[in-house]
Structure formats: C-alpha cells, structure tokens
Amino acid sequence: MENPFIYSDTNKRYHTLDYFYKHKFHSKVFKVSLNAGFSCPNIDGTVGTGGCIYCSNLGSGDYAGNVEDDLLTQFNQVKETMLKKWTNSKYIGYFQAHTNTYAPLETLKKDYELILAQEGVIGLSIATRPDAISKECLDYLEELATRTFLTVELGLQTIHEETSKFINRCHTLECFEKMVKELKKRNIHVVVHIINGLPYETKEMMLETIRYLNKLPIDGIKIHMLHILKHTKLGLIYRQKPFHVLSREEYVKIVCDQLEELRPEIILHRMTSDPNPEELIEPKWLIKKFGVLNEIDKELVRRNTYQGYALENKKIRS
C-alpha cells in the first residue's frame, strides 16, 4: 500500500524526528542526554514541593548522563558509543533531567556553551517548565538561536486543570501558552510533552489536549504513556487505590486518533515511554518499546490513515 503521508520517505505515516533531521541536516543526528544537576521550582518550594507525582528522583532523566560525572564525560561516553554504529554523525546536546533553565544565567551559559563547543554538535535541546524561564534567560536563548539549532522542550502533560492539580504540575495553562508564544516570537523551536493515560482522564480529554496544541505555533510533540514507578508518589497512590491503566491496545488506538487530528507539519519526537524496567510497576507492556511503535504503524496501515488525516478529511472523531 502506497504511503500517502507527505512528510515521509519510509513506511511511517507520521512526521518522524529522523525524517526532520535528515532533511534539515543531511546527516544522521543523535541527541546526547545530559544531567547538569539542576533542580526544579516544583521541588524546592518555589512553586511547589515534591515534584510531579510521576517523576523519579532523577526528574524524568532516567536515561540522562550520570550526574556524578561532569558534562563532558557524559557527552563523550554517549558520543563514543554512537560513533561505533554511525560514523560522521552530528549531535544535539540534550539537557534532559529536571528543569534545565532553572539556574543563574551564568551557570546556564557555562553549561550550554561547553556542549555547543564540542566537535559535531549542531544544536541544543533544553527540557524545562513554562514557569521557569526568566526574561534574561529568554534574551540569551534568542541570541543562542541565531548561532545554533535550539529547541526548548516544555512540559504540559495535559490541558485539564483538575488533572494538572492531581499530578502537582503547579503551573497554569495560561502560563504555558504565554511561554510558547514568547519562544516562537524569538524564533526558537518549541516541542511540547504530553502524557496519555493520566489518572481518570478519558480518551476525549486526551484528544482535547491535541486539539488545543494544534492551535498553537508548536514545532514538535512528545507523546508519553503514563508509567507508574516505584519510589514515586504516583506509585504510592496506585498501590493504595489502583486506577485504570491503559492497555497496549487502548494506547495504540488513542495515539492513532491523536495523530489523525495532529497538524502534519508537527514533528513526532516520541510516541511512547521508555521507563526503567527495574523501577516499573505498570504498565509492563511499555518495556517492549519497539513493539508499541510497530503496533501504531500497523494500526495506521489498517485504517489507511496518517497524521492529519482527520483534519484533511474533516473527520474529527467524537
């Protein structure tokens, strides 16, 4: 069956990050995950305490570098591994763990510029919160974006206030939207994180989050499946009062529904989660990451649809 999706030169029916990098940089590009040892305003009491209820003590950086190592050591360890598979690759330094704009500006500059100066680095990706980017940081990021390919990743997770309070996000939707617009005004690439399967959310609520993001000038999205980890508040809640966890089949169908409603130019940076198996309580099916991705591919082929199909055909599902 011929692939009808325009942003693809493979069998993928959605706009993959690999496709975007290949056409922008004409090279294999890897993100090198780093842990710079930053904290989070939702941990230290600035806006909240305890952090988001699903976060491990590594602050969503389970596969970032070892914080005990300096940044260059972390960077070179990953780079050397990648070079064994693909020579002449290019790299994006990914500041992943915790909130990576939450530090004095001079600290941020020192860390960002150190990685940017490494051979083969063509960009930086900075994971942060919409309430943790100061005006002076924004000004620096704007200047930085004129010198390199800069991406800022904003955690949103959901547009629904009740859920947001339950998971202890401690920022408003208004704050998020304002920051997206501020970053885009400064010509900065914006990627948004959302989570499917948050406690008590329905499929329609998850689709509403996609419809909201469709109206914003975002460049990319990361779709995660909620995973419940040991030693987290969410893990404690689940053990005391179990809630419904999406099956793999439910998750695949929801993601495909979301893709059909997502603007085709938006880049899919992630479509499932990649939890540490030793810490995972549920869902166990997440351990087989590539199996999940394969099922998404097969479901889109079965439907003969693709990213943006519902928008193109005016078939928004109810």
Residue 64, in any domain of the structure: yes
pLDDT band at 318 (very low <50, low <70, confident <90, very high): very low
pLDDT band at 3 (very low <50, low <70, confident <90, very high): confident
CATH number at residue 104: 3.20.20.70
Judge contact between 78 and 89, C-beta under 8 A. no
User: Which has the higher per-residue pLDDT, 42 or 23?
Assistant: 23
Residue 188 has pLDDT above 60, yes or no: yes
pLDDT band at 83 (very low <50, low <70, confident <90, very high): confident
DSSP secondary structure letters along the chain:
-----SS-SSS-SS-BHHHHHHHHHSS-EEEEEE------TTTBSSS-BS--TT--TTSS-TTS--TTS-HHHHHHHHHHHHHHHSTT-EEEEEE-SS-TT-S-HHHHHHHHHHHHTSTTEEEEEEEE-TTS--HHHHHHHHHHTTTSEEEEEEEEE-S-HHHHHHTT--S-HHHHHHHHHHHHHTT-EEEEEEEES-TT--HHHHHHHHHHHHTS---EEEEEE--EETTSHHHHHHHHS------HHHHHHHHHHHHHHS-TTSEEEESS----TTTEEE-GGGG-HHHHHHHHHHHHHHHT--TTHHHHTT----
Residue 261, in any domain of the structure: yes
Number of separate domains in the chain: 1
pLDDT band at 212 (very low <50, low <70, confident <90, very high): very high
Residue 136, in any domain of the structure: yes
7-23 residue pLDDT tens = 999 999 999 999 999 99
For helices 289-303 and 248-261, the axis angle rounded to 10 degrees is 50
Residue 314, in any domain of the structure: no
Task: Give the pLDDT of residue 233.
Answer: 95
Residue 237, in any domain of the structure: yes
Phi-psi region of 38 (alpha: psi -120 to 50; beta: other; left: phi over 0): beta
Residue 259, in any domain of the structure: yes
Task: Give the pLDDT of residue 240.
Answer: 96
Task: Give the pLDDT of residue 61.
Answer: 45
Task: Give the pLDDT of residue 104.
Answer: 96
- What integer is the mean pLDDT of 198-204? 96
Residue 216, in any domain of the structure: yes
Task: Give the pLDDT of residue 151.
Answer: 98
- Compute the mean pLDDT over every residue in the chain, rounded to the nearest whole number: 93
pLDDT band at 63 (very low <50, low <70, confident <90, very high): low
Residue 159 has pLDDT above 60, yes or no: yes
- Domain around 40: 17-307
Residue 232, in any domain of the structure: yes
Residue 67 has pLDDT above 90, yes or no: no
- What integer is the mean pLDDT of 76-104? 91
Residue 64 has pLDDT above 60, yes or no: no
Q: What percent of the chain has pLDDT over 90?
A: 84
**What is the rounded CA–CA span in Å between residue 227 and residue 195?**
9
Cα 228 to Cα 77, 238, 283, distances in angstroms: 29, 8, 7
Residue 62 has pLDDT above 80, yes or no: no
